[in-house]
Amino acid sequence: MMQPVFTIGHSNRPIEEFIALLAEQGIELLIDIRTVPKSRANPQFGQDQLPPALAAAGIAYQYVAALGGLRHARKDSPNSGWRNKSFRGYADHMQSEEFLAGVEAVLVLTSDRRCALMCAEAVPWRCHRSMVADALAVRGIPVEHIINRGKTRPHVLTSFAKVAGTRIAYPPPDDPGCC
């Protein structure tokens, strides 16, 4: 069985607590999938402060911009199963070459290291990283969401996702179509 890829949201945690959560899972590389790799509210997670703090704990850092959130939904979006416009926009982005290149980059980065994907949102079901987890899951990669100390949750494919190979669409419930 392949080793899992983890996800984590930094939220407003102190950096020491965040690093302890990564260390608890044996994370060797943190892959930042935020659109903007900084935080005004939590500057310890900015791209200038986070990598050195991780390095001091023996954890590498890599930014993968292609997987960043904050995408706009197309007017003709086939992903209207998502009521949330930002999730629908991200689902549309998942059909792009940019997204596919980002997933390929993650597959390479995770092939020989224990990795975690990071965004800002504390819980995965409110974050685009759950959709990235869908993309990994359909490629046979197990995904675990780090929730808190001693608590991870296995990723389950989004219930209304329609899958064809490695392509995912999120149509409304009455639409059986896919991809």
CA distance 24 to 146: 10
Q: What crossing angle do the helices spanning 129-137 and 97-110 adopt, rounded to 10°? A: 70
Q: What CATH code is carried by the domain that includes residue 94?
A: 3.90.190
In a domain, 151, yes or no: yes
pLDDT digits (tens, 9 = 90+) for 95-109: 999 999 999 999 999
Q: Retrieve residue 56's tokens.
A: 């001091």
In a domain, 93, yes or no: yes
Higher per-residue confidence, 44 vs 2 = 44
In a domain, 20, yes or no: yes
Query: What's the structural domain count of the chain?
Result: 1
pLDDT digits (tens, 9 = 90+) for 119-178: 999 999 999 999 999 999 999 999 999 999 999 999 999 999 999 999 999 998 776 555
Domain extent for 144: 5-169
Q: Is 0.85 topped by the overall pTM?
A: yes
